Structures are given as structure tokens and as C-alpha cells.
Amino acid sequence: MVKTVMITGATAGFGEASALRFTEGGWKVILTGRRKDRLEKIQKKIGKTCHIIHGDVRDQPLMANSVNSLPEQFSDIDVLINNAGIGAGLHLAQEVSWKDWEDTVDTNIKGVLAMTHAVLPNMVKRNQGYIVNIGSTAANYPQSTGNVYGGTKAFLHQFSMGLRCDLLGTDLRVSCLEPGLCQTDFTLTRMNDEKKANDFYRGINPISAVEIADMIFWMVNLPAHININFLEVMPTRQAVAGYALSRLT
């Protein structure tokens, strides 16, 4: 039986790579994203096994209606990958704009809630499904200017655990994948400077979007009695730096 995966934020990075990886694996894919031209380009590449939803995950009524009105051949979602996310603003808390904070919370938290709320009931009804939340090592290790972004990813960590508790006794699975330094358009979007983004990766050999997609595909294809609660991954040349001190002079 051909399975169906729904991927949010599928126009680039982890989302696009996952769409192609699952297609290669023989799955049907439902892709959401804000950039209609990119969605249509990916759909054309994949073909009839791809259904697209143009819209923002922050638009809860649109997302709920889109899920409820899926074509019959896509209506039973086996895997939801909550990938859509932003990291608006690389600023200190005392300098950041309110809009950057609000947009980050609305996308990274409320967007995930909107999609989960729309998809989960049918998974429970069928007693079949897997939710993969794309978190970040920023959930576990604070860094300067990562204030609200890290907070939203910490929410995903805890939300994933809460879902596991609520779904105990069913066959549904939930994982939170927490990558460290990965080379995608995400960093370029955050920095808004191609040279800075390239310098950021220099000499690191960061994780690629394709490698993340492979990890997700591996997780959801494990035997049904195995649930990976969290998977934290970093490039070999990245590590937690430890405490920082500021001494009086």
C-alpha cells in the first residue's frame, strides 16, 4: 500500500529534500509552502503523486480546510513533517523588533499546532500515523541572539513529549529531530547576506538538507514498535561550547 506524507515548508531546504526523498521511496507527498512558483516547480518534477497546498501555516483556517478537503487519494496522511519555520532577526533581545518575535512564535509554534490539530484526529481514528517535528539544537543550548527562536524550538521538544503522553495506547509515533549546523537557504534568509552565510559554514562541513531528509525517512521506516523520541545531530566540527563568563574589570 502506497503511503502519504505531508510536509510543511516544502519549497526549499529540509522540506524540498524530504519531498524528493519520500517520492524516491515510492510515497505520495502533500506539500505546503508560501512560494507558489516553487511548489508548482516541485510538483511538476514529481508528477501525479504530489499534491500542493499554497499558503502559510500561520493561517489556521486555511490549513484546516485544506486538510479536510484533500482529494481522496491523498486524504489518509501517514506521516506529518512539521518543517515550516523561521528564525526572524539575529538581534539581542533588547534590540529585536516585536514583529520578528511575533512572526517566529506564530510560525514555529502556532503553525505546528495548526497542522497537528488538523491532521492528528484522522491519524487517531485510523490508529496509524507518525508526526515528525523539526526542532533544533537551539532548544537545548542557548546562544546570544537565539532568544525567542531557541524558545520556540524548546516548545517543540516539550510538545513532542506531550503528544507522546496523549497518544500512549495507540500505535501513533512522534519524534523531534533536532539538527545543529546545516547548510540550507535558512541561514541565508536569517542573515540576508550571502557572504556572511558562506563564511558561517567555512571549514565546518555542515549537514546537508539531503542528509536530514535521509534521517527522517529512516526514522519513519523503522519497525512500528520503535519510537525515536528525539534525535539530536551535529556536524563533527560543532560542539557545545560550555559556559560563558563576563568578568568585572
**CA–CA distance, 67 with 4 (Å, rounded to integer):** 13
**CA–CA distance, 214 with 230 (Å, rounded to integer):** 16
The model carries a pTM of 0.94
What digits encode the pLDDT tens for the residues 20-64?
999 999 999 999 999 999 999 999 999 999 999 999 999 999 999
Outline where the chain has alpha helix (H): 13-24, 36-46, 60-68, 98-105, 111-126, 147-166, 185-191, 194-201, 209-220
Query: Of all residues in the chain, what percent are helix, strand and coil, respectively (each to 5)?
Result: 45, 15, 40
CATH fold group of domain 55-233: Rossmann fold (3.40.50)
Residues taking part in catalysis: 149
pLDDT for the residue 200: 76
pLDDT for the residue 154: 98
Return the residue matching grid coordinates 537545548: 140
Cell (9 digits) for 210: 539531503
Q: Which helix (H) or strand (E) holds 49?
A: none
pLDDT for the residue 192: 66
> Rounded to the nearest 5°, which phi and psi values hold at 75?
-75, -25
CB atoms within 10 A of CB 147: 19
**CA–CA distance, 5 with 15 (Å, rounded to integer):** 11
For the chain, which ranges sit under pLDDT 70? 186, 188-193
